[in-house]
Amino acid sequence: MRRRSHRPHGPAYLDHSLAFEEVGEHRNMACGLYGLCLQVVVRRRWPSFSCGPCSLWRRRLGQDFCLPGPATVLPMPMLGR
């Protein structure tokens, strides 16, 4: 089995809700794909998520920015099948 040499795109599962103070360190709301990630999280019925492991989120000296990426990298399960 091949190992990934890069971090995956998209949200990471969290098993607990975030406190208001934690949101800034776990979420990148400035990302152009944030809305799509929210849809994925809602459809999967996750209690919470983090943008931290996403390879599109880069942090530099307190500045957050998101690199553009294809929206097709976030698989969405088909509901009702």
pLDDT, mean over the chain: 75
34 within domain boundaries = yes
How many independent structural domains does the chain possess? Answer: 1
Domain extent, residue 19, equals: 1-60
Q: Read off the pLDDT of each residue in 28-33 and give the average, rounded to a whole number.
A: 84
9 within domain boundaries = yes
Q: What are phi and psi of 57, to 5 degrees?
A: -95, 115
pLDDT digits (tens, 9 = 90+) for 38-67: 999 999 999 999 998 887 776 654 555 555
20 within domain boundaries = yes
First to last CA, the chain: 29
39 within domain boundaries = yes
Whether 71 has a pLDDT exceeding 50, the answer reads no
Q: What is the dihedral of CA 65, 67, 68, 70, to 10 degrees?
A: -130
7 within domain boundaries = yes
Asked if residues 56 and 69 have their Cβ atoms less than 8 Å apart, the reply is yes
Q: What is the pLDDT of residue 61?
A: 44
